[in-house]
Amino acid sequence: MEDNDQIGKVVYSKAGRDKDKFFIVTGVLDEQYVYIADGSLRPIEKPKKKKIKHLVFTNTTADEVKNLLLSGDKVSNSMIRKILQSHDMNKEV
């Protein structure tokens, strides 16, 4: 998966303190690590560094967030929370 393909993806944590929670990938550090945020405990200003092997990538991409991040614009925490809340109700994983 290419770096830009991972940005904006909705992921599910399968290990660690944040196990069983949904996040959005906000950045890619290297082939092993990404930055994730959920808009509340992990705001966009202070994303969590997480190993890719501890995440399950869903088929959902938050296109608004991806476009804003790639263009360098600011993403609001409320936007991330709203996307994850609607995704959590659908429970894709």
pLDDT at 1: 56
pLDDT at 91: 64
Question: Which CATH class name applies to 3-90?
Answer: mainly beta
Cα 65 versus chain centre, distance:
9
In this prediction the pTM is: 0.89
Contact between 28 and 34 (Cβ < 8 Å): yes
- Can you list the residues of the chain whose pLDDT is less than 50? 93
Domain residues of the chain, as ranges? 3-90
For 58, counting Cβ atoms within 10 Å of its Cβ (0-12 exposed, 13-18 middle, 19+ buried), the class is middle
pLDDT at 2: 65
pLDDT at 80: 92
